[in-house]
Amino acid sequence: MAEKITVAIGSDHAGFALKNFLRDTLTEEGYTVIDCGTDSAASCDYPIYAEKTADAIRNHSAELAILCCGTGIGMSMAANKIKGIRAACCSDIFSARFTRLHNDANILCMGARVVGEGLALELAHAFLETGYEGGKHARRVEMMMALENKD
C-alpha cells in the first residue's frame, strides 16, 4: 500500500459532524489527519477554523486540507483570503478532481447541508488522490497566485 498523505481538516459548527466522519474514515484508511477544530457543534465563527486549517498547509504540516461548513462557500471565501491558499468549494466529483488537476487546489471545501457523508467521502477521495497536472496549467496557476500580491 502506498503511503498516504497528511491531511488537515477543519469545520465550523454546521460542518462539525461531517468533519468528524471524514476525519475518522480517512484515518481508518491510513491517512494522517490533523484535526484543526472546531471541537463541538456549538455556534462558532468559520474564519477562525479556515485560518487554522490553512496554516497547516502554509507551515507544511499537511499536504492538502478539507474544510466543512453549512454550504462550503463561507469556508472557501475565508480560506482564499490567506496567502498561498487555493480553496475550492465542490459538490461534484468532476470538480473535485479537476480543481486538483488544473488549479492545484490545496483545500477542498464542502457543505454539510449540501452533500451527505457518502458523497463527501467520494469528493475527499477524488481530491486527495488526484495530482496536479502542471504543464500549460502552471502558467495560469502562477498568474492566479500573482493576483494576491496586487494592491
* DSSP assignment string, 100-127: HHTT---EEEEETTTS-HHHHHHHHHHH
Query: In the prediction, which pLDDT does 1 show?
Result: 46
Residue whose C-alpha cell reads 460542518 in the numeric block: 15
143 within domain boundaries: yes
104 within domain boundaries: yes
Task: Give yes or no for a contact between 127 and 115, defined as CB atoms under 8 angstroms apart.
Answer: no
CATH number, residue 28: 3.40.1400.10
Non-local CB neighbours of 92 within 8 Å, separated by 6+ positions: 123
Residue 109 is a catalytic residue:
no
Give me the number of domains the chain comprises.
1
84 within domain boundaries: yes
Q: Where are the beta strands (DSSP E) in 18-135?
A: 32-35, 64-69, 87-89, 107-111
Query: In the prediction, which pLDDT does 2 show?
Result: 59
Q: Per residue in 39-58, pLDDT tens?
A: 999 999 999 999 999 999 99
Q: What's the average model confidence in pLDDT over 65-77?
A: 98
1 within domain boundaries: no
Query: In the prediction, which pLDDT does 69 show?
Result: 98
What's the whole-number average pLDDT of the chain? 96
Residue whose C-alpha cell reads 476525519 in the numeric block: 23
Residue 102 is a catalytic residue:
yes
Q: Per residue in 83-140, pLDDT tens?
A: 999 999 999 999 999 999 999 999 999 999 999 999 999 999 999 999 999 999 999 9
Query: In the prediction, which pLDDT does 131 show?
Result: 96
Q: Is 135 exposed, middle or buried (0-12, 13-18, 19+ CB in 10 A)?
A: exposed
41 within domain boundaries: yes
Distance between CA atoms of 103 and 112, rounded to whole angstroms? 23
Structural domain for 100, as ranges: 6-149
C-alpha cell at 90: 465542490
13, 36, 68, 69: which is the annotated catalytic residue? 69
